[in-house]
Amino acid sequence: MTYFLKWDNGFHAIDDTLILSTPGDAKDACRIDRHTGFVKRLDGRSLPREWKNETWVADWNAGKGTLISENKGRILIMEDDRKILAWGNRRYARIR
């Protein structure tokens, strides 16, 4: 499954993609690949786009609809029949 978020706060324009997959035959684990592109703004100018990629593994709790990554301290929540992935105050929309 792939989730996407576009965010702009005036200082940054961010495109954030989370790709969820199952590592091997694990049924209670989820691999999360995060690809983030961002443009910083300084004094009204946009600086060159930068990219950040990271990967981590989270435990899947089907009863609660949560992904928890203890070593990263992250909790992601599936909402609206997996159409939305919530991470803090951010809401990622499912695109695949």
> pLDDT tens string for the chain (96 positions)?
999 999 998 899 999 999 999 887 777 899 999 999 999 999 989 999 999 999 999 999 988 999 999 878 899 999 988 899 999 999 999 998
Domain count, the chain: 1
Buried b (16+ CB within 10 A) or exposed e, 30-47: bebeebeebeeeeeeeee
- Return the pLDDT at 13: 95
- Which residue range forms the structural domain that includes residue 81? 2-94
- Return the pLDDT at 93: 96
Long-range Cβ pairs for the range 47-53 (8 Å, 24+): none
DSSP-assigned letter for residue 73: T
Q: Alpha-carbon distance 67 to 95, whole Å?
A: 18
Residue among 50, 44, 49, 37 at smallest CA distance from 11: 44
